[in-house]
Amino acid sequence: MIWCFNGATHLALSRNAYSLNISLKQEKEAKFWNAWAQKTLKNALALQELNKNKAKNLILFLGDGMGVPTVTAARILKGQLHGQSGEETQLEMDKFPFVALAKTYNTNAQVADSAGTATAYLCGVKANEGTVGVTAAAVRSQCNTTQGNEVTSILKWAKDAGKSVGIVTTTRINHATPSAAYAHSVDRDWYSDNEMPAEAVQAGCKDIARQLFENIPNINVIMGGGRKYMFPKNMSDVEYPNISKYSGCRKDGRNLVKEWTDQMKDKKAHYVWNKKDLLSLNPNNVDYLLGLFKPVDLPYHLERNLETDPSLTEMVDVAIKILKKNPNGFYLLVEGGRIDHGHHEGKAKQALHEAVEMDRAIGRAGLLTNIHDTLTVVTADHSHMFNFGGYTPRGNTIFGLAPMMSDVDQKPFTSILYGNGPGFKVVNGARENVSTVDYQENNYQAQSAVPLAMETHGGEDVAVFSKGPMAHLLHGVHEQNYIPHVMAYAACIGQNREHCYSSSGAATVNLAFSSIAALLTVTWLLC
């Protein structure tokens, strides 16, 4: 393989190499590490004064399938994309002062799925795999076990408290993670009535797309994919009119988008289906936004059309600007949903670039909010059978080879490997020689130990990063369903409100301090 660079590229690489050499030289001196540790210690000591303000705003970033190995690899990738070695880089989530671990198991599964876990971190109740918004008393695919077992989510608690609420995802809007915020379904795959058994429809169970519009009226911001599930069967898609698999699929003949636009016609409401229309909106003139950008899931970040497909960061930017207008604050669920898809397909490069893009969105959210009154939590629903190793040297490209051959079959191997998945390949009765393929190609499927059509989830705990009011309550090792209880407590919504008032009924002094801190911050910015 021959690499060709133009002059500008060569200059940039030279500068990056120079910076890296300077950094590596500093790292050879003890004072470099001592100074860094002392600075970190001072920052940690400052955290002894805990932020006990009332959280006006709540943001949950959910990296679907973003286990700890994915976080570490994404950190390295982010640094390498900026010409650094990568290992020393900080993700935006790395800057959060508090970190915990969440136990992800479902009530009936040691290794969890995204539906049961979503019920945990959104509704506060652990549940069976494959079900959303219902307790463990509900049985997957059994419609008659739905009624009486429904549980509500923190999105509803926030809406009931007068806050604006929003959902942003890179998957279809009725996928497992977002659906637990508003739906009660014994089967995560009941995207529309087309995917439901006839007996379930006849028994009165509702598909998830329908529940998006009926269960919690007037969700302020809805952005993601999933257009096909909103339109009547065989109705051509606006973007792909000649591709039948993207046409509407609803058997009941309903046009849920038209119903929404008709219902919202007297409000400041907009429906958009492409990036241009999204970014042309003035958030000050929008109170309700429905954005459905693809018939199913949004494309991978590496493959999106920059002219027509919004990035997760762009969607988050618009969402927060709309939601923050509410003086009572907001709740926003953001899902980097295709991290999971990349891993399932064994495409580590796609998965890690999805994670880096979500981290970029986290940074954007931080610029648009205030740590004094906004609790931000970043976590994952579960992990994957993904890892990297092989004694790679410092600065080794994250998608590169380990520095030695296997001492069993005398062939090279990539640092990134999967425990199982579609990357298992045998050539002439032996493991494929990766040096004969382009292992840094976007859709390269990393080798796996066990052949499977789709790679599986991993069962280890996931990280929970938090900053803002009451973030210190997310510490140690907890059950995953603890997360929304902390967020609700911080915002004085749901069942946690008593602590928000003194015996006289007046708001606690921390609320006043929160307002003063916010005012001082604004004053400083204006000066």
Residues annotated as part of the active site? 114
Residue 87 marked in a binding site: no
Report angle CA 510, 511, 517 to the nearest 5 degrees. 85
Strands (E), 204-300: 221-225, 269-272, 288-292
- Here the tokens at position 473 are 């309550």
Could you give the CA distance from residue 207 to residue 184 in angstroms, rounded to a whole number? 9
- Here the tokens at position 256 are 């849920």
The set of residues, in sequence order, having a beta carbon less than 8 Å from that of 76 and lying 6+ positions away, is 86, 87, 89, 398
Residue 10 marked in a binding site: no
Residue 372 marked in a binding site: no
Could you give the CA distance from residue 380 to residue 71 in angstroms, rounded to a whole number? 10
Residue 252 marked in a binding site: no
The alpha-helical segments, DSSP class H, found in 292-429 are: 312-323, 338-344, 348-368
Residue 335 marked in a binding site: yes
Residue closest to 74 by CA, chosen among 301, 338, 358, 279: 358
Q: β-strands 426-427, 448-451: how paired? A: unpaired
Q: β-strands 386-388, 457-458: how paired? A: unpaired
Residue 382 marked in a binding site: yes
Residue 344 marked in a binding site: yes
Residue closest to 386 by CA, chosen among 297, 459, 479, 436: 459
Residue 160 marked in a binding site: no
Residue 353 marked in a binding site: no
Annotated binding site for Mg(2+): 64, 175, 177, 335, 344
Annotated binding site: 64, 175, 177, 335, 340, 344, 381-382, 457
Annotated binding site for Zn(2+): 64, 340, 381-382, 457
